[in-house]
Amino acid sequence: MHTPTDQSILVTGGAGFIGSHLAEKLVADNDVVVLDNLSSGRREWVDNRATLIEANIQDTQAVARAADGVDLIFHQAANVSVERSVDAPIESHETNVDATLRLLEHARKEDARFIYASSAAIYGTPESVPIDESDPKEPTSPYGLEKYTADEYCRLYHELYGVETVTLRYFNVYGPRQRGGQYSGVIDIFLDQARRGEEITVHGDGEQTRDFVHVEDVVAANCLAATHGTSGEAYNIGTSNSISVDNLAQLIVDTFKTSSSITYIDPREGDIQQSCSSIKKAHQDLGFNPNWSLDDGLKTLW
Ligand code: UD2
């Protein structure tokens, strides 16, 4: 069985981009509570069989209510923007670290399994690619450091208290419902610019690479992590393929035959250069196999 059944489940960020797809997958066979402040998520993305608690992840009372009696927690709520963490590091830390630690305490109290949305940003600029889970962690942004701290707390909660934790280090997730305006993911931004016929804005020289993984594959990884016995472990979740941002812009222009031209703007503070996952460990331990190619994924988004 690769999807949890008959469990009481909390999905934080469950009205958002990744969380809403995950909650949708779980709701038929489980009791699902969604905790979300609807900052980037939307009420209409929450299946009406789930219970929506509309609150901030830092609202301790709401979080306690949401976590009461749960068997399984998928922690997706976060500030997901590297750029925003550079602009407002304290706020980002409170959301990404403090709130995660408090949620781990609930997992400990409830004896709940805890699946954490970690990030490839923890590795910083790698010495070589593909990146292995044991490679050095030298984050280049507050966001990367916050995700690394929380990722390590998950490991520690397993070691110290026996909490069943699994951290999934997402590479660049894309797909339907990725909407975040200025702070959104690059695919969402480029598609938006292409649709409007506006200039496609590449930061720096565009040589930086990313490993884009479709949200449906990320949902599958979460379900595998929830149903496989392994805990205290961390897994890269990507595709093992990468593309430069420049080539991504060109691919979008060619695929959608847009009138947009590509323009180069200032490099972004905190940006990592190369990113490409090794997913051997997730494949071996969890049976993870991404199904979506970037070409197919992009076509469904136009
Ligand atoms: C993404 C995730 C982050 C984390 C990480 C893991 C988002 C918003 N962020 O960070 O949460 O999981 O991946 O690796 O999903 N770019 C442009 N032009 C634009 C916007 C972006 O050139 O208009 C570039 C940007 O400088 C970067 C690349 O595109 O080199 C990807 O940027 P991003 O914001 O989509 O994602 P990233 O890798 O910073």
- Residue 184 has what DSSP assignment? S
127-179 per-position pLDDT tens digit: 999 999 999 999 999 999 999 999 999 999 999 999 999 999 999 999 999 98
CA–CA dist 47, 218 (Å, integer): 19
Q: Is the CB of 275 under 6 A from ligand 1?
A: yes
Active site residue 143: yes
CA dihedral sign, ordered 127, 129, 131, 132: negative
Residue 199's pLDDT is what? 97
Alpha-carbon distance values, 196 to 116, 181, 193, 215, 302 (Å): 36, 14, 5, 24, 12
Handedness of CA 174, 203, 192, 199 (dihedral sign): negative
- Beta strand 262-265 pairing with 212-214: unpaired
Distance between the two ends of the chain, CA-based, in angstroms?
Answer: 34
pLDDT score at 179: 81
Please, what is the average pLDDT of the chain? Answer: 96
Q: What is the C-alpha to C-alpha distance for residues 108 and 164, in angstroms, rounded to an integer?
A: 9
The answer, yes or no, to whether any atom of ligand 1 lies below 6 A from the CB of 243, is no
Average confidence (pLDDT) over 116-130: 95
What pLDDT, on a 0 to 100 scale, did the predictor assign at position 187? 97
Residue nearest to atom 13 of ligand 1 (CA): 172
Quick one: pLDDT at residue 165? 98
What is each CA distance from 106 to 60, 101, 117, 194, in whole angstroms?
Answer: 11, 9, 17, 44
pLDDT at 5: 97
| H or E stretch at 235 | strand 233-237
pLDDT in tens, 238-292: 999 999 999 999 999 999 999 999 999 999 988 989 999 999 999 999 999 999 9
pLDDT at 302 over 90: no
d(CA 105, CA 102): 5
Residue 1 has pLDDT above 70, yes or no: no
179 in ligand 1 pocket by Cβ < 6 Å?
Answer: no
Rounded CA gap, 20 and 127, in Å?
35
The verdict on the CB of residue 82 being under 6 Å from ligand 1 is: yes
pLDDT tens, 174-217? 999 998 777 789 999 999 999 999 999 999 999 999 999 999 99
Q: Rounded to an integer, what distance in angstroms lies between the CA atom of residue 19 and that of residue 25?
A: 10
Q: Give the integer Cα–Cα distance in Å for 171 and 182.
A: 20
**Closest ligand 1 atom to 80 CA:** 11
Task: Please tell me which residue in 143, 157, 170, 174 is annotated as part of the active site.
Answer: 143
pTM of the predicted protein model: 0.97
